[in-house]
Structure 1
């Protein structure tokens, strides 16, 4: 089983490295001229296919593993965490511009002759008053709420590491992009767990 953990961990590491590399500015500056307005959509499709491949590797590695024995109260508790995670995911997604996030807005604007961009305006409303990364918080609840065996456990562990590291890289980009506005926000609002309660900050001017 230890070898399975190593192989599965390596698959997650490769995914994280490639995903991070493609998000770096010097790589984007070279690939964007090739894909044009389709860059963000292509990036998302590639990331989806890659994480799907990692998941398939995990299913293959752990296909003969036995599920954990869990008490009824533990099963119910995990089920609640899992459901809460999906509810939070759906509600948090409503606070984002999904067209820009997916890359469809950039394509639409391209055919309208409008210069589009990939970055959303910075805002501190809704769930962002509680945590800096509500989608990641939802993802963590979903990952840990579905742990029933070794495969789910290792997926939750590696997924958590990926989200934690990914958040750090993402925030470096946001500080470069928004400067003191995001630095102040980062200093006052926790990343994933709302331990400070609701924090109200003034919205930056566009």
Structure 2
């Protein structure tokens, strides 16, 4: 998609985000039409509470992770406001990146699976999981091209979605 939108110059990221937003709205709308009135799954109270808790933790971690990103660059507005700004940020190895390579994708998965308490929620979680796993694979190739051996070394040390400590691996040391 990025290559196809390259003709838009510095506004491609903004346009890409607009296309992604429309795509998500269409999928969400179709899900509401097809599954919106289906009742919730008859889960035990403890399971439902644990799932909502996972979604809440995911939301909190996503908000924390956002502090470590240039959100204006991610949205595409910095490229429009500051045409001479570098296209990409430096390789981030701090904050949530000490534990997981894709903090937004990982927390997004935690949120959607925590909310998968109805047929609509489950369909959304399955669709979002496919979208995020494919997106991470594409992003991995881009990051390897962009950062080379530094990213390859980081990728060997830190898992993509499941935080390193949960896999018995050490996170990166904090930066001074």
- TM-score (norm: length of structure 2): 0.90
Partner of 1:46: 19
Matches within 5 A, 1:51-90: 51-90=24-63
Which position in structure 2 is the counterpart of 1:10?
none
Give the alignment's TM-score, normalised by structure 1: 0.78
Equivalents in 2 of 1:93, 1:118: separation in Å? Answer: 18
Q: Equivalent residue of 1:132, what SS?
A: coil
Whether 1:176 aligns to 2:145 is yes
Q: What's the offset of the Cα at 1:48?
A: 0.7
Mapped partners of 1:67, 1:98: distance in 2 = 35
- 2:84 is aligned with 1:131: no
Deviations 1:151-189 (A, max 9, x none): 111211121122112111110111011110000100110
Spell out the pairing of 1:143-158 with structure 2 (5 A cutoff): 143-158=112-127
- Where 1:131 maps in the other structure, the secondary structure is coil
2:131 is matched with which residue? 162
SS in 1 for 2:125: helix
The offset of 1:201, in angstroms, is 8.6
CA gap of 1:121–1:85, structure 2 versus 1, over 3 A, is same
Tell me the CA shift for residue 67 of structure 1.
1.6
**Whole-Å Cα distance in 1 between the matches of residues 174 and 105 of structure 2?**
21
Q: Is the 8 A contact 1:124 1:200 kept in 2?
A: no
CA RMSD of aligned residues (A): 1.8
In the alignment, the residues of structure 1 paired with residue 98 and residue 160 of structure 2 have an alpha-carbon distance, to the nearest angstrom, of 11
Name structure 2 gaps, 5 residues minimum. Answer: none
Deviations 1:22-71 (A, max 9, x none): 13x4x2xxx333x2332211111111111111110111111342221011
C-alpha separation in 2, matches of 1:76 and 1:185: 35
Extract unaligned runs of 5+ from structure 1.
Answer: 1-21
Counterpart contact for 1:103–1:118, Cα < 8 Å: no
Using the TM superposition, give the Cα deviation of residue 200 of structure 1 relative to its aligned residue in structure 2, in angstroms. Answer: 3.1
Structure of higher CA gyration radius: 1
